[in-house]
Amino acid sequence: MQAGKPVLYSYFRSSCSWRVRIALALKGIDYDTAPVNLIKDGGQQFSDEFQALNPMKQVPALKIDGMTIGQSLAIIEYLEETRPTPRLLPQDPKKRALVRMISDLIAGGIQPLQNLSVLRQVEEQQRLAWAQKAISSGFNALEAILRGTAGKYCVGDEVTMADLCLVPQVANADSPVMKPHALPQDGHRWADRLSHRRVSIALLSAGVAGGREAEDSAPEPPLPPRLASCALCPLPSQPPHPPQLRA
């Protein structure tokens, strides 16, 4: 790793890490990746070395500017304040509040409910049904909000922090494990006309949203055609392992 270069501690299945990778790529920040496997060896996040970096024992963590920051939204906001272009938070305070509201809804009200640390508190036979119900409830609330805020993207026609949160979460919920139960049905099969689906497609088409990094920084698979011009982490045509509930 290059001295002075930012280092992202990340897990290839982590939607929280994915948000930060998109932000780093959009802002053109060169960085190194330090893989932290949340499953291997009982969870590498529990090692003394990593706990010294992030006492919460979670990814992502970003070493940058002589400090280490945990929590994906805090990382993105720091990048926004220190490297403000391209802008990921609108100048208008009302729009900025909407972006933060949507980001918090996803990061606090949807994503944690499929984490193994949460699901282990539910009886094993009920875990999947509980997760699907909880995530579906969050997506229904998100859909109602996006109907009033979305233009081309989550809030208007510019990419914001809310979009960085949306894409990884839709990808996780669209896995064979979660669908068709986790996403809003709205009286029909989950369709492109739904706001969150439409926004996700627009982001992918614009080359804004990359995919998961390869496990343990293995060579990344080629980009699929729709992301061929994207500078972000590629989205594998097949996941590196059978889908499972996210750690």
Per-residue pLDDT of the chain (247 residues; tens, 9 = 90+): 566 899 999 998 888 999 999 999 999 999 999 999 888 888 889 899 999 999 989 899 999 999 999 999 999 999 999 999 999 999 999 999 999 999 999 999 887 766 666 767 888 788 778 878 888 888 889 999 999 999 988 999 999 999 999 988 887 776 655 554 555 544 333 334 467 677 777 776 666 665 556 555 443 333 233 222 222 332 223 333 333 334 3
pTM: 0.77
Question: Which of these CATH numbers, 3.40.47.10, 3.30.530.20, 3.40.50.2300, 3.40.30.10, describes 7-82?
Answer: 3.40.30.10
- SS3 per residue for the chain: CCCCCCEEEECCCCHHHHHHHHHHHHCCCCCEEEECCCCHHHCHHHCHHHHHHCCCCCCCEEEECCEEEECHHHHHHHHHHHCCCCCCCCCCHHHHHHHHHHHHHHHHHCHHHHCHHHHCCCCHHHHHHHHHHHHHHHHHHHHHHHHHHECCCCCECCCCHHHHHHHHHHHHHCCCCCCCCCCCCCCCCCCCCCHHHHHHHHHHHCCCCCCCCCHHHCCCCCCCHHHCCCCCCCCCCCCCCCCCCCC
Domain limits, the chain:
7-82, 93-227
pLDDT recorded at residue 163: 92
Domain 93-227: assigned CATH number? 1.20.1050.10
Fold match flag (7-82 vs 93-227): no
